[in-house]
Amino acid sequence: MKLYEALAADIEASIRTGVLHAGDRLASVRHTSQSRGVSASTVFQAYYLLEARGLIRARERSGYYVSAGVRQVPPELDLTSQPKDESIAVDVSEQVFEILESSMTRDVVPFGSAFPSPLLFPLGRLGQAMASSAQSLDPWSTVDDLSPGNEALRRQIALRYLADGMPVHTDEIVITNGALEALNLCLSAVTRPGDSVVVESPTFYAALQALERMGLQAIEVPTHPREGIDLAALEHAISRHKPKACWLMTTFQNPLGSSMPEAKKKALVELLARHQLPLIEDDVYAELYFGDKRPAPAKAFDTQGLVMHCSSFSKCLAPGYRIGWAAPGRFVKSVARQKLTTTLSASAPAQRAMALYLERGGFDKHLRKLRQTLAAQQATFAEAVGHHFPSGTRATRPAGGYFLWVELPEGIDALKVHRHALSLGISVAPGPIFSASRAFTNCLRLNYGHTWDARSEQALASLGRLVSSL
Amino acid sequence: MKLYEALAADIEASIRTGVLHAGDRLASVRHTSQSRGVSASTVFQAYYLLEARGLIRARERSGYYVSAGVRQVPPELDLTSQPKDESIAVDVSEQVFEILESSMTRDVVPFGSAFPSPLLFPLGRLGQAMASSAQSLDPWSTVDDLSPGNEALRRQIALRYLADGMPVHTDEIVITNGALEALNLCLSAVTRPGDSVVVESPTFYAALQALERMGLQAIEVPTHPREGIDLAALEHAISRHKPKACWLMTTFQNPLGSSMPEAKKKALVELLARHQLPLIEDDVYAELYFGDKRPAPAKAFDTQGLVMHCSSFSKCLAPGYRIGWAAPGRFVKSVARQKLTTTLSASAPAQRAMALYLERGGFDKHLRKLRQTLAAQQATFAEAVGHHFPSGTRATRPAGGYFLWVELPEGIDALKVHRHALSLGISVAPGPIFSASRAFTNCLRLNYGHTWDARSEQALASLGRLVSSL
């Protein structure tokens, strides 16, 4: 990003978040040049850019003013959650299913969906790779590609770890049917029924469903919407409840979008190492960053093999192919065996197609485009929420992924919003499904990973009216 | 089968099993015609056929004699197993893994393999279907094909049930990553840790591994090598141990090859209905029958939705594609939900490829050829066992599938055979891995689903010498 672009972005943020209002006069070019320590021409370029975007306009001999009608985004959600300090049995799966199943149809506006738009992915090039893979399939690959999985694909994944400066070797990687299976296998490898597991508050509902299915208890730990889990609270929970594992999303957490800063991830890994506690790290959104580089996972700081890193291609490349993986550190043998006795292996032609696509190149180019698209859609979506939702609404501003976590004014029942919205043909993901204690009763997770068009705008307007009416 | 072919088959069986020895004179044409109630010309045709096969030869003016050098198959194993009447914790998985992993390489002669030769399958035509599927993939299929799975594929499977006279509807079918996942999901849907589950004795080791992983106990019930589980013993075990489910292979059981006669399957279903006990029916080998029609599964007699029928395309069409299914009767919703929270769905392009292949036709033609191949390989393999193994060896004679269950002379340690054989580059599946109580210490499961050639003959000869030496 060039200097004038960075300056323009800062000013735009001030406008979008309501620091500057319509009609406010911007500081003079000279003043800004001095206060920012940039040249006058840089300031001019920034102002021209903002003017071109319709955010400010010049009045002759008077300076620049914020335009009328610029949409504001909601104020940022900034408070750490406060779950009860307890280890509790999980019983939410039935409700989660009812809510998810009710919105699993193409007709519904998918603000509640867990998936980004399938139109965002290079299905054509993937299809070519799949065709090549299937038509030249070595019959013995059906044996060779059994768990831990196709070696060429594991090597490609190891190369990506290497490019990110992480020492994960081909032999540590187990190919799975998507990250969800990787997470489940890891959880199963390090727990027994009755054990407790640390999760964030709020957390991804599939983690809760896994705990419930496997007879595990949940310890919900306070989590900040920008910086992730609270380490002091985590250490307290470990001492008090003796969990057997942590299941965390350290980057672009679902639903919060929070990302732990690198130093915090490092501290997390050290803390867990002191307690010899395995970390199941769900890292499926990390490639969808809007900044200048991929945020390092906690895995990058692990020296003891305690971090079980799980990811997939489903959110960033090939939804529906069901190819994910675990890099489970010292637990790799156990995870590979779990895989062999539950689903045996991932589809051989799909594994080979993915390897082929990665070998042919183009993944990073696709990712750059995908990130730009999602970043732009977040801006548009957040402004629409700011415009259509009642005041008192707050929202997160994730630096990646495709979810906004929206806190509605107190007293508004998110489950009621879900039911009414569904009758209008709109899905939302209501807060209570993200918590074993069914908290977050006035929160929604909204998906901005679908193309923004007139239908979305209308749907979000309807949703805003609905929320205001409750 | 024509009359003369049936007669020839009977006589061949008498020769192969040692009822008739080399040099023995066959009954005269006239005598056989009278005793069998067939025409003299039918007997002549049968004798000509046997002569053409080298099994008998004519001596001028004297009649037909059994040729020298005809290989005999081992005597048939005919005794029902006698496991202890108990419900026991399972702890075999580690040993099973060690044994399976040691032989998972292409270099080893795969008598211990669980898979038939990948060369037996129409991978070319499947590859074409996969290419078409992947290149025309509707982006939204990644959402539409989530569990319960692709509708076109579920319809094709339902059509096959219909053709077999079974009322299983599209809505009852859940697509899975192979039958193994289907079985695991069904087990998980009807049990809780600590419950007991009925299995055959011997049983498929993956069933034992599933019980162990899920903290379930095994009740091993006496099973006959030809006719399957003993119903009286089953009823006794149900009354005594109160299991929560049965996991059985009613057709071409792995490892015995036993198939319950239809009347017995019907009685089984009625028995379980009286106790309202779910049956997880593993039916992956049924399409590999050597007779004139597909044996009906227990599912065919189920009127209460208690039978959870599990199968796949992995053993009969598309190994490595990992497409299987469950038709779990009244438990369908629960199984589909288990699938959603563990692996989400099967690979979308693989599901569609399978649907396309089935729609295009040719599956039944492929199956006919596959059955003939396997039947011929069984005959050759059984003769080679009869020829190379020491006397006192007995073996099953399954009417389908690709496994022989071989009982070695008493006192021979199958685990020792496994270890020594592996050092010779030959894998076997030793009896103890098929039992929670590690019984069947002198039994082996041998796979005849690979092309028979000089290497196989040599390997089986080595194995025979090894067994004789122990």
Distance from CA of A311 to the nearest CA of B (A): 13
Position B59 pLDDT exceeds 80: yes
Of A121, A137, A346, the CB nearest to B127: A137
What confidence tier does B18 reach under pLDDT thresholds 50, 70, 90? confident
Report the residue of chain B nearest A191, measured CA to CA.
B213
Q: What is the pTM of this model?
A: 0.91
Tell me which CATH code domain B121-360 carries: 3.40.640.10
Distance from CA of B267 to the nearest CA of A (A): 31
| β-strand pairing of B196-201 with B245-248 | parallel
CB within 8 Å: B347 and A320 = yes
| ipTM summary value | 0.89
**Number of Cβ within a 10 Å radius of residue B353:** 30
Tell me which CATH code domain A3-66 carries: 1.10.10.10
Of B144, B177, B338, the CB nearest to A177: B177
CB within 8 Å: A184 and B104 = no
CB within 8 Å: B127 and A136 = yes
Position B73 pLDDT exceeds 90: no
With contacts defined as CB-CB under 8 Å, which chain A residues touch B348?
Answer: 320-322
Which uninterrupted H or E stretch holds B102?
helix B93-102
Position B360 pLDDT exceeds 70: yes
Residue found under tokens 């019930």: B221
* Best to test chain A binding among B98, B119, B143, B216 (most A CBs inside 10 Å): B143
Closest CA to B446 of B388, B396, B391: B396
Of B93, B144, B180, the CB nearest to A343: B180
CB within 8 Å: B143 and A118 = yes
Residue found under tokens 């106790």: B275
Closest CA to B394 of B350, B431, B342, B444: B444
Which uninterrupted H or E stretch holds B59?
strand B56-59
Q: Where are the domains of chain A?
A: 3-66, 122-360
The tally of CA atoms less than 13 A away on the side-chain side of residue B9 is 8
With contacts defined as CB-CB under 8 Å, which chain B residues touch A121?
Answer: 139
Closest CA to A295 of A240, A337, A351, A249: A249
CB within 8 Å: B343 and A341 = no
* Best to test chain B binding among A93, A102, A130 (most B CBs inside 10 Å): A130
With contacts defined as CB-CB under 8 Å, which chain A residues touch B350?
Answer: 347, 349-350
Distance from CA of B209 to the nearest CA of A (A): 7
Of A126, A143, A180, the CB nearest to B344: A180
Q: Where does residue B257 fall: left (phi above 0), alpha (psi -120 to 50 degrees), or beta otherwise? A: left
CB within 8 Å: B350 and A353 = no
Of A216-220, A290-294, B108-112, B235-239, the range with the lowest mean pLDDT is A290-294
Yes or no: say if B421 and B427 are a contact pair by the CB < 8 Å rule: yes
Estimate to the nearest angstrom the gap between the alpha carbon of B73 and the chain centroid: 19
* CATH label, A122-360, candidates 3.40.640.10, 3.40.50.11540, 3.60.20.10, 3.30.230.10: 3.40.640.10
With contacts defined as CB-CB under 8 Å, which chain A residues touch B176?
Answer: 343
Residues B16-45, mean pLDDT to the nearest whole number: 89
Of A124, A215, A347, the CB nearest to B321: A347
Distance from CA of B357 to the nearest CA of A (A): 13
What confidence tier does B1 reach under pLDDT thresholds 50, 70, 90? low
Average pLDDT along chain B: 94
Report the residue of chain B nearest A194, measured CA to CA.
B193
* Residue-wise burial string across A265-276, b where 16 or more C-beta atoms lie within 10 A, e elsewhere: bbbbbebbbeee
Distance from CA of A432 to the nearest CA of B (A): 18
Which tokens hold the place of B63?
A: 């009649």
* Best to test chain B binding among A344, A356, A447, A451 (most B CBs inside 10 Å): A344
With contacts defined as CB-CB under 8 Å, which chain B residues touch A180?
Answer: 341-344
CB within 8 Å: A177 and B346 = yes
What confidence tier does B14 reach under pLDDT thresholds 50, 70, 90? confident
Instruction: Show pLDDT as tens, one digit a residue, over chain A (470 residues).
Output: 688 988 988 888 888 877 888 888 999 999 999 988 999 999 999 999 888 888 899 888 889 999 887 788 898 999 999 999 999 999 999 999 988 888 777 889 999 999 999 999 999 999 999 999 998 888 888 888 888 999 999 999 999 999 998 989 999 999 999 999 999 999 999 999 999 999 999 999 999 999 999 999 999 999 999 999 999 999 999 999 999 999 999 999 999 999 999 999 999 999 999 999 999 999 999 999 998 899 999 999 999 999 999 999 999 999 999 999 999 999 999 999 999 999 999 999 999 999 999 999 999 999 999 999 999 899 899 999 999 999 999 999 999 999 999 999 999 999 999 999 999 999 999 999 999 999 999 999 999 999 999 999 999 999 999 999 98
Report the residue of chain A nearest B110, measured CA to CA.
A143
Distance from CA of A160 to the nearest CA of B (A): 23
Integer angstrom CA distances of residue B373 from B13, B148, B311, B402: 19, 34, 21, 10
pLDDT in tens, B167-198: 899 999 999 999 999 999 999 999 999 999 99
CB within 8 Å: B320 and A349 = yes
CB within 8 Å: A140 and B192 = no
With contacts defined as CB-CB under 8 Å, which chain A residues touch B342?
Answer: 180-181, 184, 210, 213, 342
Report the residue of chain A nearest B143, measured CA to CA.
A320
